[in-house]
Amino acid sequence: MSGRTEGGAQAQASQIMLALFLRDIRLSIRAGGGALTGVIFFLAVIATIPFGVGPDLKLLARIGPAILWIGSLLACLLGLDRLFQADREDGSLDLLVLGNDRHILALTVLVKCLAHWAGSVLPLVVAAPLLGLFMNMEPLSIGATALTLLVGTPAITFIGAVGAAVAVALPRGGLLISVLVLPLTIPVLIFGVSASYGAVADPDPFLQPFLILAALTLFLAVLGPVAAALALRHGTD
Amino acid sequence: MRLIAENLGGERGGETVFSGIGFAIEKGQALVVTGPNGSGKSTLLRVIAGLLPKAEGDVRIEGGGETFPTIASACHYLGHLNAMKTALSVTENLRFWRDFNGDGPLGVEEALETVGLGGIGHLPFGYLSTGQRRRAAIAKLLVSHRPLWLLDEPTAGLDKASEARFAGLMAKHCAEGGIVVAATHLPLGIEGMELRMGETG
């Protein structure tokens, strides 16, 4: 009997979280959402590189994975300030925080992060193979980079959520979030890029850095939302 | 169910806004918090909801049972802001809060008709006027059940007819065993105890 009610509560919780996920996805697609902004910024960064570096196709192919990673890292940071600020400005954040007693705030934050990732960052991962062509990258290299981006970018969102939660009350906190978050994302960048290179440059390993990248994402999926929830809980005013 | 505050104090930015507030509200009763601007009405409501830390004293809910063990889980908080997304339609907004907070006495369409917004649920929330937005936010109180309503200037922007309708909703909520705590400087048209703030200093 108690097992059944527990199962019911779990089903209810997943429904609640699905509703939150769908709402945030809808918001990111509708006017004023961040889905396109990031992709256009990403495109602008990558399209500029060949002009700056020059027409050396071999060099472009060699730096391609690193440039794709740096470009998507910066594009990820671009939309992060709206993660909680939009909810704070219209008062929704108060109600999300009040919901803490029914469904843990960290879970709410996790779902918001996942929705943010799916709405604003996944388009970057999808665009990355196309932009890889701009950098004259090999198909294998493009595939490896896209795969590492798919696995690694959630970690950036989870770290960013902490920054966004800390800076939620600050007007124009976007820059502060970038400064706070960027140093913490360096490990993700390092392992992401080294796994991308490992797939094409023969003596370098692919699997080890890739697994560390996956581990970072999983670890931060727990730590990020818990820390962000703590910051939000004490940041209401 | 009772809402009890004992010697409650609140502060904003390290400065005491109010102190020594005490009340006990039984179910079915309403408390109207009045006072001039800056007397701490909003702060009091946020302290009760637990959105602000209390500087001293205690506020708690008794007899909420397993469903509503704490004030946060037992309350609807209607602040100055409507907590609705301008890019989503009114129905989408309400349906989200209904999903998030749990089912209530009324469905989304019925709640909209109760606040006099029937037939405009498909419009984006951003297209509504100030009074209509407030009414949509009031509909949010109806789509999920919470025994305790914490209302901060609930009638701001409402016309006379809507005010009367909302007074009826509050009276109905109390009659069904709910508790209403409303901060206002306008007469709300409900029977209830009155807490005047900012006078004794």
Q: What is the pLDDT of residues A53-108, one digit of tens each?
A: 888 889 999 999 999 999 999 999 888 888 898 898 888 999 998 888 777 899 99
Predicted local confidence at residue B199, as pLDDT? 62
Q: What is the pLDDT of residues A134-186, one digit of tens each?
A: 888 999 999 999 999 999 999 999 999 999 999 888 877 788 888 889 999 99
* Residue A8, in any domain of the structure: no
Closest CA to A194 of A179, A216, A223, A221: A216
Residue A6 pLDDT greater than 60, yes or no = no
Q: B126 to chain A: which residues are within 8 Å by CB?
A: none
Inspect the interface and report whether the beta carbons of A94 and B85 lie closer than 8 Å.
no
Name the band, by pLDDT with cuts 50, 70 and 90, for residue A1: very low
Q: B10, B54 in Cβ contact below 8 A?
A: yes
Edge-first strand order for the sheet with B193-196 is B75-78, B148-152, B179-183, B30-34, B193-196
- Domain extent at residue A93: 20-235
* Residue A2, in any domain of the structure: no
What class does CATH assign to B2-196?
Answer: alpha beta
Count the alpha carbons within 13 Å of A192 in the hemisphere toward its beta carbon: 32
Residue A3 pLDDT greater than 50, yes or no = no
- Asked if ipTM goes beyond 0.85, one says yes
What residue segments make up the domains of chain B, in order of their start? 2-196
Three-state DSSP at A172 gives coil
Question: Which regions of chain B are under pLDDT 70?
Answer: 199-201
Predicted local confidence at residue A2, as pLDDT? 42
Rounded to 10 degrees, what is the CA torsion of A232, A152, A69, A179?
20
Number of domains in chain A: 1
Q: What is the pTM of this model?
A: 0.90
* Residue A4, in any domain of the structure: no
Q: What is the pLDDT of residues A82-94, one digit of tens each?
A: 889 889 888 899 9
* Residue A1, in any domain of the structure: no
* Residue A5, in any domain of the structure: no
* Residue A128, in any domain of the structure: yes
A14 at interface of B, judged by CB pairs closer than 8 A:
no
Q: A19 to chain B: which residues are within 8 Å by CB?
A: 95-96, 99-100
* Residue A198, in any domain of the structure: yes
Inspect the interface and report whether the beta carbons of A31 and B85 lie closer than 8 Å.
no
Q: Which of residues 133-172 of A touch B (CB under 8 A)?
A: none
* Residue A14, in any domain of the structure: no
Question: What stretch of H or E contains B193?
Answer: strand B193-196
